[in-house]
Structure 1
Amino acid sequence: MRDPKDTAKRFIEIHHPDCTGAMLAGSCARGEATATSDLDIIILYAGENRAYRESLHFDGWPIEVFVYTGEAYKNFFASDAERGIPSMPRMVSEAIVLKEAPVVTKMKSEASIIFAAGPSPWDKQKIDHNRYMITNLIDDFLDKEVGGEAYFLVNAIVNDLAIFTLRTSRHWIGSGKWMFRELKSMDSDLAIQFEQSLEAFYKQHDKQAIVQLADDCLEPYGGRLFEGYYLG
């Protein structure tokens, strides 16, 4: 298989020869590529704001192409900051420049600023709503025998707790493996507690480890919430 950077450059020369600028992002840009990695290529054009994404194969590589015309990328930066998952800011800030242009420099600078600033903060109403929802999940979890429903509930609890803990700390969240990576980035000891709590439940059917994890995460914000919760 060809070198990822050389392959990306060749792809651009063949499929996007008139683009204004281009970057190679993702695991290949970070030097973390594996046998199943793809090439994440960001392509920039001048003109009216438009964007699209395309998946294809080229020269033995699976390729994900992200094409932005004008300043369409700004909408994706804003959306990521709002939802707390820094897909585009991370990709662009880490990317290797394949075709230089002022817009590439500008986009990378904006991405780095957004990535360093963290996601949009949660207000008290958002925090209280999540405390309430997690409390309901815990109550439901404690009421269930160990088995199918309890397994799905524990996954929901741990996912929601990770989101709660990261967002209340103005830290980015993620999906799948990235959620655990973000926890480790913020607090490695807490990430270990998440891991050990899940292990205790799956191996020993210990519900208390999960409940203790939830209480530890919620306690700085008032703990579990049911009585007095109001939405309207």
Structure 2
Amino acid sequence: MRGSAEETARRFIRREFPACEAALLAGSTVQGEATPSSDLDLVIFDESQQSPFRRTYQSEGWIIEAFVLTKETYRYFFDLAVETAIPSLLRMCAEGRILFGAEEVRGIVAEARSDLLAGPPPWSRQELRQARYGLGESLADFEGCPRREEALFIAAKLAEQLAAFALRTRGEWLGDGKWLQRGLQRCDAAAAGELHAALEAYYGSGHKEPLAALTRRWLTPFGGILSEGYAEGGSGEEEETEEL
């Protein structure tokens, strides 16, 4: 039986990163959502390291994901999170529990919280066009696919695109895997329920129409499916750079 998440994390850090200036424990164990398969997410600030890295360890029955940074490199990853709208590291620093070095990371935690609260930059018109075009392509593939074993994968792709579309058109952060669904649930529980029901209709009973109809309905306020006239690069993009 594995031991306490926090105590395991503290022992691991003392053993593997004895020179670190600060460390935070983040993820589901801090948020009270841990399951028997949850791992430990650690953000470690260690100036003795030559470069930032991420590495997976195993200790005392736990899988440990260590994100090792320095004070010179963390901002690059914060900026990348904002650019991609996927705030994994921002959230870990903003919401994590400081294990060591509170004074060392107080300012960094404040930066993460400020960036997280501000949200991602809005989509440009071209990014919206790309999303509309991509959803239209996936929908056409889904509706026209005669092989269920292939359509299962297309439906999964369409679900991710729809969740991302709903979040970004609302000015919200994205996520990966379960965090995408959780983000949509927090942002718009009704929309999350609609997407869930449409997926259940297909995966459970093979009915494509609910997912297809949902895709068209969510796209309608933004101009619907985009196909003819879509372009990337060259002069076709020049007029589509202003934000929504």
Q: TM-score range by the shorter chain?
A: over 0.9
C-alpha contact 1:38 1:62 (8 A) present in aligned 2: yes
CA-based RMSD of the aligned residues comes to 1.8
The residue that corresponds to 1:27 in the other structure is: 28
Q: Secondary structure at the match of 1:56?
A: strand
Superposition pairs of residues 1-232 of structure 1, within 5 angstroms: 1-46=2-47, 50-145=51-146, 147-231=148-232, 232=234
9-18 vs 157-166, which deviates more? Answer: 9-18
C-alpha contact 1:49 1:68 (8 A) present in aligned 2: no
Q: Deviation of residue 31 (structure 1)?
A: 2.3
C-alpha contact 2:135 2:225 (8 A) present in aligned 1: yes
Matches of 1:203 and 1:60 in 2, distance apart? 36
Matches of 2:13 and 2:48 in 1, distance apart? 18
Moved over 4 A (4+): none
C-alpha contact 2:20 2:45 (8 A) present in aligned 1: yes
Q: Check 1:8–1:187 CA distance in 2 against 1; reply closer, same or farther (3 A cut).
A: same
Structure 2 unpaired stretches of 5+? 235-244
Q: Check 1:31–1:202 CA distance in 2 against 1; reply closer, same or farther (3 A cut).
A: closer
| CA deviation string 1:162-219 (max 9, x = no partner) | 1111112111111211111111011000000000001111223222211111112111
Q: Secondary structure at the match of 1:145?
A: coil
| CA deviation string 1:64-86 (max 9, x = no partner) | 11111222111111111111211
- Count of equivalent residues: 232
Q: Deviation of residue 47 (structure 1)?
A: 6.7
Structure 1 unpaired stretches of 5+? none
C-alpha contact 1:25 1:92 (8 A) present in aligned 2: yes
Q: Secondary structure at the match of 1:66?
A: strand
Matches of 2:132 and 2:124 in 1, distance apart? 13
Q: 1:60 is matched by which residue type in structure 2?
A: G
The two structures have a TM-score, normalised by structure 1, of 0.92
Identity between Structure 1 and Structure 2 (%): 38
| CA deviation string 1:137-163 (max 9, x = no partner) | 212222222512222222221211111
Q: Secondary structure at the match of 1:50?
A: coil
Matches of 2:50 and 2:118 in 1, distance apart? 25
C-alpha contact 1:132 1:225 (8 A) present in aligned 2: yes
The two structures have a TM-score, normalised by structure 2, of 0.88
C-alpha contact 2:17 2:46 (8 A) present in aligned 1: no
C-alpha contact 1:47 1:70 (8 A) present in aligned 2: no
Q: Deviation of residue 95 (structure 1)?
A: 0.8
Matches of 1:48 and 1:56 in 2, distance apart? 17
Q: Deviation of residue 48 (structure 1)?
A: 8.3
Matches of 1:40 and 1:158 in 2, distance apart? 27
